[in-house]
Amino acid sequence: MSLDIMASFSETGKRASLPSLLLLLALFTATLRIADAQIGVCYGMMGNNLPSKREVVDLYRANNIRRMRLYDPNQEALEALRNSGIELMLGVPNSDLQSLAASRANAEQWAQRYVFNYYPSVNIKYIAVGNEVSPVGGSSWAAQYVLPAIQNVYQAIRGRGLHDQIKVSTAIDMTLIGTSYPPSKGSFRNDVRSYLDPIIGYLVYANAPLFVNVYPYFSYSGNPGDISLPYALFTSPNVVVWDGSRGYQNLFDAMLDSVHAALDSTRIGYVKVVVSESGWPSDGAFGATYDNAKTYLDNLIRHVNKGTPMRPGPTETYIFAMFDENQKNPELEKHFGLFYPNKQKKYPFGFGGHRNWQIAADNEFNVTIPLKSDI
């Protein structure tokens, strides 16, 4: 839909019938949705030099970043998000899982304080109950609490009739995948199935997605002999891995499809995947360079609308992270930011996959469409 066509209603002063105006707007909106990148950015706060919460929300809006992941329900950030239009993935920290699992009343109090007191002026889309919890390893203590915490929060949301608007899930990492090659043979580790299968069953019941943190950087840096840098950075000129009729030119798609296959192989039911983290550090470890990070992130932003060989179509993806965070460890964890703490962009690319627009309807049905150039 040409912007000139839309703008002509105002410029010529001509009247338009309401049906024709609505049709034009519907076509224009459809064009915007097709062009809209499926990108969000994770807002971590582990730095002592970061901007105020209000400044951060303003920075998201100024850069056309329309989705945010928060790792805990920081009330100052929630206040700053009011009426921003930013879609929010709201996190429940692992430290809160035991309390929310203990009783429905605890979950209802949590939901009242951090969800119902803000929604809908804060556009909460997801609640991520726990992050990278595994029944084996350092977070094993929390595994028993994840599903009951999810269920209690879900029931609190359902009690307000919001379970179709706000989906409740959890975020896992790729260490729960046992087999990832070839992607179609992806499967979860046997020692995590008793933990994951009931969660997957809940997700099917609630029609909620699974959140997965996908980092080709760590796969590449841990095995550079077998994984080429172009394959990890989306720059391979040709298919690197053939899996039957499916060809993979990048590691991100291969990793993501191994998760799709692992979910399918449980035969519990269909579950959508949202990539809740992906990024590349610009310093601090092997392969962590400015150029590599710039290439990966720019290509990721361009790629996610295409989907994967196994799941064509847009893949909602959250980049980690908004800022370099100087209180994180080890060293490479300090260098994942898209922005420096002074709000300057680290990389030249932007998030311009759409145009700002608004309808100003009066007796003439005038339409004004202010354009905002890509930043």
Question: What's the mean per-residue pLDDT of the chain?
Answer: 87
CATH number, domain containing residue 126: 3.20.20.80
CA 2/CA 31 separation, integer angstroms: 10
In a domain, 247, yes or no: yes
pTM of this structure: 0.84
* Half-sphere exposure for 283 (CA within 13 Å, toward CB): 9
* pLDDT for the residue numbered 153: 98
CB 320 within 8 A of CB 361: no
How far is the C-alpha of 335 from the C-alpha of 296, rounded, in Å?
14
Among 132, 316, 325, 333, which one carries the catalytic annotation? 132
Residue 364 lies in a domain: no
**132 counts as catalytic:** yes
Q: How big is the CA angle at 211 (ends 291 and 266), to the nearest 5 degrees?
A: 120
Three-class SS state of 25: helix
pLDDT of residue 132: 97
Residue 362 resides in a domain:
no
CA neighbours within 13 Å on the CB side: how many for 343? 13
Residue 360 lies in a domain: no
What is the number of alpha carbons within 13 Å of residue 239 lying toward its C-beta?
9
For residue 350, the model assigns a pLDDT of 83
Q: Interhelix angle for 193-206 vs 140-159, to 10°?
A: 10
Instruction: Judge whether residue 135 has pLDDT over 90.
Output: yes
> Is residue 355 domain-resident?
no
Q: Which residues lie below 8 Å from residue 60, measured CB to CB, with a gap of 6+?
A: 41, 43, 66, 68, 84, 86, 322
- pLDDT surpassing 90 at residue 293: yes
Q: What is the pLDDT of residue 30?
A: 36
On whether residue 262 sits in a domain, the answer given is yes
Average pLDDT in the 163-192 region?
96
Q: Is the pLDDT assigned to residue 43 strictly greater than 60?
A: yes
In the chain, alpha helices (H): 3-12, 18-35, 53-62, 75-81, 97-102, 104-111, 140-159, 193-206, 216-222, 229-233, 251-265, 290-303
108-127, pLDDT tens digit by residue?
A: 999 999 999 999 999 999 99
Q: What is the pLDDT of residues 9-20, one digit of tens each?
A: 333 333 344 444
pLDDT at residue 28 tops 80? no
Question: How is residue 251 annotated by DSSP?
Answer: H
Among the residue ranges 32-41, 162-171, 255-264, the one predicted with the least confidence is: 32-41
* Segment 285-313 mean pLDDT: 96
Q: What is the pLDDT of residues 51-62, one digit of tens each?
A: 999 999 999 999
pLDDT of 34 > 90? The answer is no
Decide if 187 is inside a domain.
Answer: yes
- The pair of three-digit structure tokens given for residue 369, joined into one six-digit string: 């469409």
32 inside domain: no
Which phi and psi angles does 187 have, rounded to 5°? -155, 155
pLDDT at 351: 80
Q: What is the span of the domain harbouring residue 160?
A: 37-335
Phi, psi of 126 (to 5 degrees): -135, 155
Q: What is the pLDDT of residues 262-287, one digit of tens each?
A: 999 999 999 999 999 999 999 999 99
Count the neighbouring beta carbons within 10 Å of the beta carbon of residue 118. 19
User: What percent of the chain is predicted at pLDDT more than 70?
Assistant: 84
| Residue 349 banded pLDDT, cuts 50, 70, 90 | confident
- The answer to whether the beta carbons of residues 106 and 97 sit under 8 Å apart is no
Of residues 11, 55, 79, 277, which has the active-site annotation? 277
Q: What is the DSSP string of 304-360?
A: TTTB-SSSBS---EEES-SB--TT-SSGGGGG--SB-TTS-BSSS----SS------
- DSSP 8-state secondary structure symbol assigned to residue 248: E
Number of domains in the chain: 1
- What is the distance, to the nearest Å, from the Cα of residue 27 to the centroid of all Cα atoms in its chain? 27
Residue 297: the pLDDT is 97
pLDDT given at position 37 = 56
Give yes or no for residue 211 having a pLDDT over 90. yes
Question: Which pLDDT does position 38 carry in this prediction?
Answer: 84
Q: What is the DSSP letter of 209?
A: P
Which residues are CB-contacts of 112 (< 8 A; sequence separation ≥ 6)? Answer: 156
